[in-house]
Structure 1
Amino acid sequence: MDLLIKNLPFILQGIAMTLSLALATLFFSTLIAFVLGTLATLRFAWLRVAVKVYVELFRDIPLIVNIFFVFFVAPLFGLELSPFAAVTVGLSLWGSANGTEIVRAGFNAVPKHQWQSAAALGLKPYEVYLFIAGPQALRSILPPFVGLLTLLVQATSLGALVGVTEFFKVGQIIVERTTMMEGWNPAFTVYGAVLLIYFVICSTLSWFGRWLERRLKADRSRVAPGTPVVEQPVTQLP
C-alpha cells in the first residue's frame, strides 16, 4: 500500500491518460459511426455495400493488429504519428465499425410509418433524419454506445504495447522499477490495484448503460400505444 501511495501522482497521470485516450477514441468513433451509419440506411446500394465492407474489415481484424498496422505502417507513407495518435486511430477504426452497426440498427428500429409520414409532409431527407428519425433512433442507440465506451476503456490497455503511458503501462513501469531498484517484486499489489480500478471504471459505465436503458424504456412506455386521449371540454368565456 505504501508503494501505491508513493506512486499516486504517477498512477493518477496514467488514469488521466487512459480516460483521455478513451474519450478521444469515443469522439472520433461516434463521428464516423453516425456518418457511416446514416449512409448505410440510404437507398443507394453502392453506399450500403461500401459501408458494409468498412464495417466487416475493421470488425474482423484483431485490435492489436490494427494498432500495430497504424503505428508501424503510417510512417512509410510520411505520417509520423505519436503513440497516442496511432492508438487513437487504431481504436477509432474498430470503434467506428462497431458504432456504425449500432447507428444503423437504431435508424432501422424507427417504425416505417414515421418515415412515410415525414415524406408525405414534404420534409427533406436531412430534416427527416434530424427532427423525426434521429430523436427516436437515439433511444436505441445510446445504451449500446455506452457499452461500446466500456470496451474502448478496456482496449486502451493495448496502448502500452506501443509506448503510450496509460494506466496499464504505468503499472508495468512501477513493477519493473521497484524490482530493479528495491529487489522485490510488487506485481501482485500493483496489478491487483490496476484490476480493481479498471473494474470500478468499467462497472460504473456498465451500470450507467443499464440505468439509461431502463430510463429510456420507461419513457417510451409511459404513454402506451393506442391509449385513448381524453379531450378536456373548452370553457366558453362570457
Structure 2
Amino acid sequence: MDLLTNNLAFIGKGLLMTLALSLLTLFFATVVAALMGLAAMAHSTPLRWTVRSLTELFRGVPLIVNVFFIYFGMPIFGLELSPFVSIVISLTIWGGANGAEIVRGGLRAVPAHQLSSALALGMKSWEVLLLIQVPQAIRSILPAYVGMMTQIVQATSLGTLIGVTEFMRTGQSIVDRVTVMEGWNPAFAVYAGVLLVYFLICSLLSAWGRHLERRATHERTRHPTPEDEPLSEVSATMLKV
C-alpha cells in the first residue's frame, strides 16, 4: 500500500500519458482510415490499387518494427522526432491502415442496388455517400472500430521501448527504483497492477463495442435493409431521404 501511495502522482502521470497517446492516435487514425477507406472505393483503378497496396503493407508490418523504423529511421532522412511523436505516428499508420479496411468493409456492405437507385433518381455521388452509404455503414463500422481502439490502447505500451514515459514505462521505473534503493523487488505487485488497469480500460471498451453491436443488430431487426424490396419501393425510400 505504501508503494502505491508513495508513487501515486508518478503513476497518474504515466496513465495520463497513455490516455493522451490513445486519444491522439485514435483521432489521427480515424482521419486516415476515413480517407483511405473512401479512396479504396474510388472509381479510379490506380488510386484504388495504390491505397489497397499501402493498406496491406502497413497492416503486414509488425507494429514494433514500425515503431523502430519511425523513431530510428527518420533521422536518416533528416527528420528528428521525439519519442512521443514517433509512437503517435507509428500507431496512426497502423491504426489508419486497419481502420481503412473496416471503413471499406462497412461501405461495401451497403446493397449496391440502393446506390444505383439513388443515382437513377438524380442524386449526386457525394449525396449518395453522405445520405445513404455512411448512415448505414456506420452501424457495422462502429463495433469493429471499437475493437481496434482496444488494440491501440494496448499498443501504447510499446512507447516504453523508445523512452516514452507512459503507464508501462512508469511501472518499470518504479520497479527499478525500488529494487536499487530499497533492496527488494516489487515487480509482481507493480506489473499486476499495470495489467489490471489495462484490463479494466480494455474491458470497458470491449463492453461498449458489444453494446454497439447489439444495438446495431436490434436496429437492423426493427428497420431491415430493403435488399429484397422491388426497385420501385427502394426508390420511394430514397425520395423520402
TM-score over 0.5 (shorter chain): yes
Matched, 1:205 2:205: yes
- Alignment correspondent of 2:172: 172
Distance 1:204 1:3 in 2: 27
Map residues 78-117 of structure 1 onto 2, 5 A cutoff.
78-117=78-117
Report how many aligned residue pairs link the two structures: 226
- Alignment correspondent of 2:236: none
Q: What percent of counterpart residues are identical?
A: 58
- Alignment correspondent of 1:216: 216
Distance 2:129 2:224 in 1: 24
* Runs ≥4 residues deviating over 3 A: 223-226
Matched, 1:6 2:12: no
Distance 1:223 1:132 in 2: 14
The 1:225/1:184 distance shift into structure 2, 3 A limit, reads closer
- Cα offset, 1:128, TM superposition: 1.4
The 1:143/1:71 distance shift into structure 2, 3 A limit, reads same
Distance 1:73 1:22 in 2: 23
RMSD: 1.1
- Alignment correspondent of 1:30: 30
- Alignment correspondent of 2:152: 152
Deviations 1:46-81 (CA, angstroms, capped at 9, x unpaired): 112101111111111111110000001112222221
- Cα offset, 1:43, TM superposition: 2.0
Question: Which amino acid letter does the alignment assign opposite residue 45 of structure 1?
Answer: T
- Cα offset, 1:32, TM superposition: 0.6
- Cα offset, 1:125, TM superposition: 1.5
- Cα offset, 1:225, TM superposition: 5.9
TM-score scaled to structure 1, two decimals?
0.92
The 1:225/1:177 distance shift into structure 2, 3 A limit, reads closer
Bigger mean CA deviation after superposition, 139-148 or 213-222: 213-222
Deviations 1:14-67 (CA, angstroms, capped at 9, x unpaired): 111111101111111110111110111122211121011111111111111100
Gaps of 5+ in 2: 227-241
Bigger mean CA deviation after superposition, 129-138 or 116-125: 116-125
- Alignment correspondent of 2:51: 51
TM-score scaled to structure 2, two decimals?
0.91
The 1:105/1:224 distance shift into structure 2, 3 A limit, reads closer
Deviations 1:60-109 (CA, angstroms, capped at 9, x unpaired): 11111100000011122222211110001011111111001000000000
- Cα offset, 1:126, TM superposition: 1.6
Bigger mean CA deviation after superposition, 188-197 or 69-78: 69-78
**Secondary structure of the equivalent of 1:164?**
coil
- Alignment correspondent of 1:60: 60
Gaps of 5+ in 1: 227-238
Distance 2:20 2:146 in 1: 16
